[in-house]
Copies of this chain bind each other. A is one copy, B any other.
């Protein structure tokens, strides 16, 4: 096999107990079949024990150790919730649906594994869980030629040479992401071009149907990104105007055809009027017109339209200080709050810019009140080290989810909104741009798998802490070893703050090399058309987004608007996002801005060196290939962190002429 099992390795815990475990399961189905297979694999790997599948209650009762998979529609659990009861080696997995049971299976194995239960036969344990978010989705930006946009772990395992791949790896993928609760997958890039436009045609239906059924056997719905201009490019019409009858009919017919051929499809994801993609603006229509027209087509089949809010002017004049890209999402979508059909979900990036290491939360979350919302994050690390630097993003996602938008007195957090608690809806949830490819370890950096694992776990159970998730992932991936746990957990938990320290300071973002977005280039986007500026001059740095500037602050509910607008109350990690501040301004630490920049950068680079050391200490405590892969990445990270540190510090040193208080080298 040319790929690893990641956290589903089930490293041996004990082989003391050799007796079979009786398994009673009274229902049948493709999902349950996968559940039983998982239990079989898990128990054999963890304990060297076999499952003895029994059909009558008696044999089951006699067994010393057993598992009972039990559908119970009387439970007050959502369909994908589960209840796990284990008393002295006799477990019952209960749920109201097959998928709930599968989740229970994964939960049982996970708990045995992370709690390091040596003696299953004497284990007692109870757990009841319902997923926190209705939709828990992965967005793959895979192109049909096999490349992946912003992919840092090899090529696509879904596509190659404009063909769909369907093989053992497809199944392993589904199993892996199902194990952490993922229930929706968009397999193709949101930038839908060329052959990808034809995914909704007979050229690909057969394979897509097979894939959707495979996914469904793990409780996952398949989604497709579609091209808003498909009526023209695929249908030969002369327009894609969402209010044109021909176009409406075309999408009605097309949706019928698609769902007839792929009945288990979840729906479509759409990037429209964004970075050169076609959309309703071309025809003077609103995004509601566009989304609702598509939603109308898929509605008879229970389909969803997930509509991205990443709409901004990417042809901005850098001299123009009035236009503010940060404002664009809110300015575009707030006026049409309430205008969307109920099977439309707006997918909103966590911040108003684009997956920077630090951004404020998108004001759309606190703004929209009558529209389905999904949070979009990105574990592909486009701007956070591209899976060559370790950057464990779960702490960042926790902050995002816990952010109180003040849209509601009781349920005001982003987590409340996307879970459905705030507005009592079910078309909502969390999506991530995912970080997988056909590399042997799936994610390029072995530690980047913690983000995949963590995203899934967090989207299922928002209450988990980053620390808990990190620990879970480490022991399932590397087995139980104190030193390994300690060092890797420390690396993970430090990694996001460390990355933030040695890159762009205080929330301003974007000091990266253009296009590929890797490595420092302070002015790389400063005089360009993308709306991404830092405005550094010899006196100060940052963008004035208060009322005297672009006015972006006022897109937030109070007290946030006032908090951000005042530089004394603005959270310091976002100070330069909201304010243009002179270098001598003193932060709460007592440091000036310039000294803060110097200090954090030197610190961050030093921490990256520590990561290398901490990893190096693990030599011999994991298999050699994994260790070597990690060592290469950490070697690069420490060198590249120093490069970041020196470039950013030297840039500001040259601009200000202000020396470092401690006389460290600036160039």
- Residue positions of A touching B, CB distance < 8 A: 318-319, 513-514, 520-524, 527, 536-539, 646-647, 650-651, 653-657, 665, 667
Contacts and interface: CB of A to CB of B under 8 A. Distances in A.
Contacts of A318: 667
A521 B523 contact: yes
B538 A646 contact: no
A178 to B, nearest CB: 42
A523 B651 contact: yes
Given A527-B647, A647-B527, A655 B521 contact: no
Contacts of A657: 537-539
Contacts of A647: 527
A654 B537 contact: yes
18 contacts: A318-B667, A319-B646, A319-B665, A319-B667, A513-B514, A520-B527, A521-B524, A521-B527, A523-B524, A523-B651, A524-B524, A527-B646, A536-B654, A537-B653, A537-B657, A538-B654, A538-B655, A654-B655
A64 to B, nearest CB: 66
A527 B527 CA distance: 17
A319 B537 CA distance: 22
A539 B514 CA distance: 28
Contacts of A514: 513
A457 B647 CA distance: 47
Contacts of A522: 523
A322 to B, nearest CB: 13
A527 B667 CA distance: 10
Nearest to A320: B667
Given A319-B667, A667-B318, A667-B319, A527 B650 contact: yes
Nearest to A515: B515
Contacts of A520: 527
A524 B319 CA distance: 19
A489 B563 CA distance: 62
A581 B655 CA distance: 16
Nearest to A657: B538
A527 B656 CA distance: 17
A351 B653 CA distance: 31
Contacts of A653: 537
Contacts of A536: 654
A522 B514 CA distance: 14
A542 to B, nearest CB: 13
A655 B514 CA distance: 21
Contacts of A665: 319
A514 B519 CA distance: 13
A508 to B, nearest CB: 15
A59 to B, nearest CB: 68
A538 B656 contact: yes
Q: Which 6 A-B pairs have the closest CB atoms?
A: A537-B654, A527-B647, A538-B657, A319-B667, A523-B523, A538-B538
Nearest to A665: B319
A521 B527 CA distance: 8
A646 B528 CA distance: 12
Nearest to A646: B319
A476 B521 CA distance: 48
Which among A520, A524, A536 has the greatest number of chain B C-beta atoms within 10 A?
A: A524
A514 B520 CA distance: 13
Contacts of A521: 523-524, 527
A381 to B, nearest CB: 22
A615 B667 CA distance: 47
A490 to B, nearest CB: 30
A318 B521 CA distance: 13
A503 to B, nearest CB: 14
A642 to B, nearest CB: 10
A650 B657 CA distance: 18
Nearest to A527: B647
Contacts of A319: 646, 665, 667
Point out which of A520, A655, A656 has the most chain B C-beta atoms below 10 A from its C-beta. A655
Contacts of A524: 521, 523-524
A514 to B, nearest CB: 8
A657 to B, nearest CB: 5
Given A521-B527, A524-B524, 16 more contacts: A318-B667, A319-B646, A521-B523, A521-B524, A523-B523, A523-B524, A523-B651, A527-B646, A527-B647, A527-B650, A537-B655, A537-B657, A538-B654, A538-B655, A539-B657, A655-B655
A538 B650 CA distance: 12
